[in-house]
Structure 1
């Protein structure tokens, strides 16, 4: 009888039994993503990615198309989905909303960059070489919800004790950092926000940000700008899972995602076509620091 009991305990503790246990708990993994105005088409486009995850976990995987990051945040915080593909700002908002999720992996650029820096630039031919020189000048910024073109630059300046509203003569409103650079080039501003994922943003390739794109298109002469201010690294948006997802499921997902660029490039390209470097493991440190920066500036004085 004792031998039978020992055998039953050993079976219960075996990897196969453990796998069955967490699979029974998960049942179906629901993955949320931004689908835009054509969710049916986007779900079909991501089929290879969905199938790769389903194969890795050996549980059904379904896709949850959302029209906005707010919808994804609400779905993951409420537990209607267990996995979401988010921007950096959306992950910070999710973390502040529920403290119920964690970043699993993030994509990287072809050169290995894990994020980008927000910048404030001035024409190289101008006399603006520092923030002190920028006082009383016009700063072109992006719309109010732009992370790189508004939120981080103004938050970073505030963290250094610089109030943009009183330091600059005016904030010239534009649509995005590319439009801000064009306003600078047209003489409608004296400085502009920008961003770059390159170590040397002023000599960067086209896909490193708006400076590289504008230079490649001939809209900006090489060496035509000077960086007046730069932020800390802002990480690219993560694939985040709920913290209560079983650790075995997280490990299986992490392994599949990190290997995906090599093992199944079609599946990877379906979900991350802009980032050629694949997925890497990530912790929430950079995202928490970003959240603290934005929260500090937003707090009532």
Structure 2
């Protein structure tokens, strides 16, 4: 059985872009290994379990570049070896990065620059592990099977609520320079609803029952303000999405609607992004609506690292991911540093030990 991942006892390997790596060879190897994946060749769940057959729901290791000899330069001399950093290897033998990707989809090429970027910056081996769905990736993070993963705000909050072991590191830089997005509550202008206390006994239209930005954040935030709508609202009516909830408010079928917005830009146009903007673009009259509650700003989809990763490695990850290389390899607009405070409204919706795994994962570099 051929493994899809390989650990080198020497602690040395050519780094992508270095003189020891033959890119043509590694790409050809990736194609061959991908073909094996799609034909059913199994790999180990963990490197220490490489001889065990992979089950359908097990993660798949993305193709790992084989070690090759130094490339001869034009003068016929062998180029110098580029070892991993021994001091960093002493801190951490490898960094395991989890992503959601169906191995059968054959989309490995999209993730390769991400791995190469991290390995070049950290100078320790970086292993990408693909999981078929978000719940598997969350379990892997919580259980320590992977150290680092790009998530959504809600996926991070759900996992953090289970283990209190994660740290958001970076998030994609918004192309428009905005700080993030807000969960909001809307009411009709002229109605005697100005604050959470006025929502008691009212009909509340929300997004789906497990929607973070159009239900869970509002319920948690408004409860923190002293109004438990799950107990005191006349009704909480779930809709397919926040736009449908807002349309129920416009029609008069609800007194309050939960939605989301950037709260930046021209208010009369519905701001730059969000449910009010969607309403305006569909020709709905938004001048008769008002924002009666808003959460703090919520940053975009975070890249999350386990807190038991050595601080020096975490600092290096931050340096790498906020550098120009990340903009070229992962997200065109680059990344900005974030912290738990940038997700406080979402974290409040997933209190510790809630035992709930929810959230959605976006592609590498995507927004929430």
Question: How does the TM-score come out when normalised to structure 2?
Answer: 0.64
CA offset at residue 18 of structure 1? 10
1:237 aligned to which of 280, 301, 304: 301
**Greater RCO structure (CA 8 Å; 6+ sep):** 1
User: Quick one: structure 1 residues 148 and 39, their matched pair in 2 at CA, closer, same or farther if it must change by over 3 Å?
Assistant: farther
Q: Secondary structure at the match of 1:226?
A: strand
Q: Does the aligned pair in 2 maintain the 1:138–1:171 contact within 8 Å?
A: yes
CA offset at residue 62 of structure 1? 2.9
More strand by share: 1
CA offset at residue 133 of structure 1? 4.9
1:280 aligns with 2:353: no
Q: How does 1:135-150 map to 2 (within 5 A)?
A: 135-150=200-215
Q: Does the aligned pair in 2 maintain the 1:180–1:193 contact within 8 Å?
A: yes
- 2:316 counterpart residue number: 252
- 1:174 counterpart residue number: 239
Q: Does the aligned pair in 1 maintain the 2:279–2:286 contact within 8 Å?
A: no
Structure 2 gap ranges (5+): 1-81, 356-368
- 2:216 counterpart residue number: 151
User: Quick one: structure 1 residues 48 and 152, their matched pair in 2 at CA, closer, same or farther if it must change by over 3 Å?
Assistant: same
Give me the whole-angstrom Cα distance separating, in 2, the residues matched to 1:162 and 1:101.
30
Q: Does the aligned pair in 2 maintain the 1:134–1:168 contact within 8 Å?
A: yes
CA RMSD of aligned residues (A): 3.2
1:268 aligns with 2:330: yes
Give me the whole-angstrom Cα distance separating, in 2, the residues matched to 1:285 and 1:66.
28
CA offset at residue 83 of structure 1? 0.3
- 1:13 counterpart residue number: none
User: Quick one: structure 1 residues 185 and 43, their matched pair in 2 at CA, closer, same or farther if it must change by over 3 Å?
Assistant: farther
Q: Secondary structure at the match of 2:322?
A: helix
Aligned residues: 273
Give me the whole-angstrom Cα distance separating, in 1, the residues matched to 2:84 and 2:311.
11
Q: Does the aligned pair in 2 maintain the 1:46–1:267 contact within 8 Å?
A: no
CA offset at residue 90 of structure 1? 2.3
Give me the whole-angstrom Cα distance separating, in 1, the residues matched to 2:316 and 2:100.
23
CA-to-partner distance for each residue in 1:147-176, whole Å, 9 max, x for gaps? Answer: 111111111221122121344322121122
Q: How does 1:175-190 map to 2 (within 5 A)?
A: 175-190=240-255
Structure 1 gap ranges (5+): 1-15
CA offset at residue 43 of structure 1? 3.3
Give me the whole-angstrom Cα distance separating, in 2, the residues matched to 1:204 and 1:62.
46
Q: Does the aligned pair in 2 maintain the 1:202–1:225 contact within 8 Å?
A: no
Question: How does the TM-score come out when normalised to structure 1?
Answer: 0.76
Give me the whole-angstrom Cα distance separating, in 2, the residues matched to 1:200 and 1:63.
39
